[in-house]
Amino acid sequence: KNEVEQSPQNLTAQEGEFITINCSYSVGISALHWLQQHPGGGIVSLFMLSSGKKKHGRLIATINIQEKHSSLHITASHPRDSAVYICAVRSMASGSRLTFGEGTQLTVNP
Amino acid sequence: DAGVTQSPTHLIKTRGQQVTLRCSPKSGHDTVSWYQQALGQGPQFIFQYYEEEERQRGNFPDRFSGHQFPNYSSELNVNALLLGDSALYLCASSLAGRGVDTDTQYFGPGTRLTVL
């Protein structure tokens, strides 16, 4: 079992829909990252969380440390949101190295 | 302020050859991490360099080695290439020892290596 599990693996939505991507992890962590990867490979950091909730524009990230679970929400989705969304954790034992989930491929159709 | 840069962007090699990939960290960052991302999978941690030394290492064979220079830039070397080494190699930089809230990793665009 991977230390970081994401669901769903693939997600197709219509423009305007509310989207949720989930991440569960099995280790104690010091921080959790949500990352966005577009075709071609470049990775952009969206959020880094250690507790609670963060919001940036139409993106919201939440984390429940007790349940070892995080969610990334996208409100009013748009075709330009189409990308791979990756959850990554920094475990308490691993310093600053990140352990990644396998990603969620999101496609938003117009 | 340039972000993380990597070179080359694409590379094609044959089995058994050696390859060197390069990374320049974001200005002000002193720590460089390397990741391998196979097609359709999440990145896997290779190793991390800080103060010109390998500080942490993932589950990669000794064929994978690296170096960090005094200006904090870094190289990843892979010897005796195998077909399975074909992947996107990502470099990420960060600033060490500043605590959770500031330890954000910034990623480069990656080098796509194809081994034939």
Give the integer Cα–Cα distance in Å for A52 and A66: 11
User: Positive or negative CA dihedral for A11, B114, A101, A50?
Assistant: negative
Pairs of residues, one from chain A and one from chain B, whose beta carbons lie less than 8 Å apart: 72
Per mean pLDDT, which range of A7-16, A40-49, A77-86 is the poorest?
A: A40-49
Contact between B110 and A41 using a beta-carbon 8 Å cutoff: yes
pLDDT for position A80: 94
**B55 close to A (CB below 8 A):** yes
Q: Express each pLDDT in A19-67 by its tens digit.
A: 999 999 998 898 899 999 988 778 888 999 989 999 999 999 999 999 9
Share of chain B above pLDDT 90, in %: 76
For the stretch B72-84, pLDDT in tens is: 999 999 999 999 9
Token pair 């999440």: residue: B42
- Residue B79's SS3 state is coil
How far apart are alpha carbons B72 and B97 in whole angstroms? 15
Give A89's contacts (C-beta < 8 A, 6+ positions apart).
Answer: A3, A4, A25, A27, A29, A31, A32, A33, A98, A99
